[in-house]
Amino acid sequence: MIAIKSISWIKGALRDFKTFPQDVQSDAAQALSIAALGGKADTAKPFKGVGSGVYEIALRYRGDAFRVLYVVNLGNALWVLHAFQKKSKTGIKTPQTDIDLIRERLKRLKEALDE
């Protein structure tokens, strides 16, 4: 029997996600659904440097890059930590401000779930 995880959102991530173009939202939602079923979409890959179990969905749309980061190994839910349009000034590297925000949200989520 497959354990289906619910998809939960950090408030700021959902707010930012809703600003994405509809096609991007649809593709990301499909990738999150695959993850909630225990799989990994072709657009998802492990996100290094913030802890284990964090994945990044990378989507391109009309020359723009969109990212959705989620964690699968916290509680009974898949948690969406961050969603942003990538506007990197340093090539393909994720901006440090986004990495810091992901770390902070992950830390606060872990603390909240332990309580």
- Return the CATH superfamily for domain 6-114: RelE-like (3.30.2310.20)
pTM for the complete prediction? 0.90
The Cα 61–Cα 47 span in angstroms is 21
Contact 32, 80 (CB under 8 A): yes
Write down the domain spans for the chain: 6-114
Task: Tell how strand 44-46 and strand 6-9 pair up.
Answer: unpaired
pLDDT at 93: 79
Any bridge partners for residue 51, and if so which? none
Which segments of the chain does DSSP mark as H helices, in order?
A: 11-17, 22-36, 96-114
Tell me the pLDDT of the chain (115 aa) as tens digits.
567 899 999 999 999 999 999 999 999 999 999 999 999 999 999 998 887 899 999 999 998 999 999 998 888 899 999 999 987 665 677 888 999 999 999 999 999 988 5
